[in-house]
Structure 1
Amino acid sequence: MDEKFSDVAMKLAVGQISEIVETPFGYHLIRRQELEVIPTIGAKHILVQHVDSLGATPEVTRTKEEAKARIEECLKRYEAGEKFEDLAREYSACPSKARGGDLGEFPKGMMHPDFEKAAFECEVGKATGIVDTPFGYHIILRYK
């Protein structure tokens, strides 16, 4: 960004319009707007898929019942004190398993509604129970 443009923009009050500003890119009128902060959360997850899951690869052969039993086993191990990241690497079908299940930060509207609802309602530092979405069964750990 041009330094002159930036200097003028930073000195404006919210809603105020500048005089004409000349930069190497042309002439500008600058109006400063209030910054809208979109809330995000940070989460990790473990995904266990079954043959009917959206996005399941041909290697996925387990039934929905077998997938449910596998995610229940995973949840029990987590509740017994095993590290979420280690369990994600072992159980998860999501590429995020390489990062311990870390999905990074995301706002509302980026994930499947059932996943999103569980993740946003979960307390920071806690894990959800088992969440069923069209992609399979998830356990979600909210960290932010």
Structure 2
Amino acid sequence: MVVEKKYKAMIFRRNMRQYEMASGNWHDYFDEDPEEEIGRYVKGFSEEDLLVVLPRISWAYADWMEKELKADMVGLFMTVDTLRTPDHGTRTNAFQNVIYKNYLECEKAGLPRPPWCAPATQEDFDQFEAEFSIKIEPITSKYS
């Protein structure tokens, strides 16, 4: 199992639905199913190992953010685990939604995306904003 490693972390209420980015031309780069659920160990707020199961595309995006945008994935998962309450749903939902929110923020800021990841649509922004009653703002230049 892989332990992941700076996303902005924000937990959302009512996040029983998991959001994920579209796979675009995934199969030009990978043989695996982007929706296959993959378990990985991440560090929790007490630095204990937590098993988190997410779609392969979410892990691939998190890996890409860590490598290309120097995102601190360990810090993200620890922060999400610290802030999460039962009202936020499962850890899996919380982690999935934070990864997706960061994807939308990067999209809105015009930051690069992985070549296998489809661009976010206005519908993607609208659905997420409506679900969580938040406005997706461009992520700050700390990643650029």
Question: For this structure pair, what is the TM-score category when the shorter chain's length is used for normalisation?
Answer: under 0.3
Q: Higher strand proportion, which one?
A: 1
Q: Which has the larger radius of gyration?
A: 1
Q: Kindly indicate whether structure 1 or structure 2 has the higher relative contact order, using CA contacts under 8 Å at least 6 residues apart.
A: 2
Structure in which a larger fraction of residues adopt helix: 2
Q: TM-score of the superposition, structure 2-length normalised?
A: 0.23
TM normalised by structure 1 equals 0.23
